[in-house]
Structure 1
């Protein structure tokens, strides 16, 4: 496990089993209850995590989902559980709150995961979600331009957007303002989501908006960059460029 070693007892888990349909409905009810609590606490909406190895990813990903009932065996069946959860959440939070579904090919420690069939599978997933309760889809990846399917290089978020007819939030490989603009103007995104650039420097939006040079230092997962101005502080929130809009 990522070269981590230590003198601790081995943790093992029971053998995986197929959830019953009644259990799936109970889990979906739990999602709905959690979403309702979030909205009651003041959230404008919720995003359902169907990516990165979590439970819904295990249903949507055909190499993991080996079911032979209505919740497996085809792209339409593989997303049925996600649609069920969306329907129950929508009933719980009402029609005016945002509801988003996050998708990815990657799983836990499966950073090069790929859907069998590539863009054809993504198109079928998008089509199956067209009539779902979700307002938008969120594509999570390390690089949205790399769909890991050489036969058709169309970005997965582009395929999902076209097939579903829903707005798409796109993540992965976006580190500069120009990267975000390219995703938006190419039809691969209606909105972009950022992670590492903001971890690297909390003033990333201000830097990009200002047009200042943004020289990255080589880094892997340490989120360290060289800021364009010599602030002399790790988090120079009080020392902004005068041209930047003030909060």
Structure 2
């Protein structure tokens, strides 16, 4: 059996394979943060893809924590009820574990979707809102200057994460992922480039980790140990003077000690003019590999332009990660896990209603059979 299709127990869940669908923001919610038919078809399709785990896109924990006006939220009960119905419908045809990512966008909140004006910051007249951050440093020149968070603001946001987790549980999600990566609020605190504070929340790595770890602990305390809890964070920033791998490993140790069931290692997107080398397959895998080497007992997810079955298989066989997240590959080919199984000589996880077609109809399989 291939490693990619070997079951793995992660916390309280046993996954059928090592393929993870990472959160991918769709910017398609109603203006009040409620899921729409787009989410039903998007998440529903991923749930029958054959992946072992599906993580839904970032849900804002407060209204000002949304990335765009059309991002999902979990700051009120109406949003939770919409999510509950969506999940209940999906579970009539799929048992795939489905979770949600909880996020506060910080200085990157209140923007256009990426396909409109290159995702630029929105003015008040365009429907934007005041933003917050560790320091009053805008993400880009010309963007809204965020307000530096004080203690009351931090407490409000921590309470938002805890309340959103409670709503997620009531909605029936299988797990929750804390978002501390990709230039959003918790990542902004971790980075010495975006965190320029002079108090106990800035300066040393320990100080910059203080607020993200307060959030992480509050969420760990609030979320049941009987349900999976994970976290996504940056292993690096691809920017000189930014968050380094050594600090990322230190942060990972703290999260693992708190009892997070998996560590989902991403990178970049906190410094606007320092673009990750996203044209190189597996460009973030070294971050995950370093975390796995430092914490061999932790369950580590890697991500970053992994799009071929053999590439994913080699990452796992070499012990650089325990799970692989397939994002853009899944958008391009929603049957990626099925086709990966065929490529690796495994039984493809077809949905039962599709059995009339089956793997024998796939050209790759026909070629293998002919040999």
Query: Normalization by structure 2: what TM-score?
Result: 0.49
Superposition pairs of residues 215-226 of structure 1, within 5 angstroms = none
- Aligned in 2, Cα 1:163/1:76: closer, same or farther, shift over 3 Å? farther
Q: Identify unmatched segments of 5+ residues in structure 1.
A: 148-153, 214-235
State the shift of 1:28 in Å. 0.9
| Residue 135 (1) aligns with residue 261 (2) | yes
SS in 1 for 2:183: coil
**Contact persistence 2:231–2:260 (CA under 8 A):** yes
Q: Structure with the greater relative contact order (CA < 8 A, sep ≥ 6): 1 or 2? A: 2
Give distance in 1, aligned partners of 2:281 and 2:159. 32
| Partner residue of 2:249 out of 120, 123, 126 | 123
Match of 1:86 in 2: 216
**Contact persistence 2:235–2:288 (CA under 8 A):** no
| Partner residue of 2:178 out of 48, 65, 85 | 48
Match of 1:73 in 2: 203
Deviations 1:12-54 (A, max 9, x none): 6653232112321221111011011111221121001111121
More displaced stretch, 138-147 vs 89-98: 138-147
SS in 1 for 2:147: coil
Give distance in 2, aligned partners of 1:41 and 1:3. 30
- Aligned in 2, Cα 1:62/1:179: closer, same or farther, shift over 3 Å? same
Coordinate RMSD, CA, aligned? 3.4
| Residue 211 (1) aligns with residue 323 (2) | no
**Contact persistence 2:236–2:245 (CA under 8 A):** no
Match of 1:162 in 2: 293
State the shift of 1:144 in Å. 7.7
Q: Name the one with the larger strand percent.
A: 2
Give distance in 2, aligned partners of 1:72 and 1:162. 28
Give distance in 1, aligned partners of 2:212 and 2:150. 15
SS in 1 for 2:149: coil
- How many matched pairs? 210
Give distance in 1, aligned partners of 2:356 and 2:168. 32
Query: Normalization by structure 1: what TM-score?
Result: 0.71
| Partner residue of 1:11 out of 107, 111, 123 | 123
Superposition pairs of residues 145-160 of structure 1, within 5 angstroms = 145-146=282-283, 155-160=286-291
| Residue 59 (1) aligns with residue 180 (2) | no
- Aligned in 2, Cα 1:237/1:88: closer, same or farther, shift over 3 Å? farther
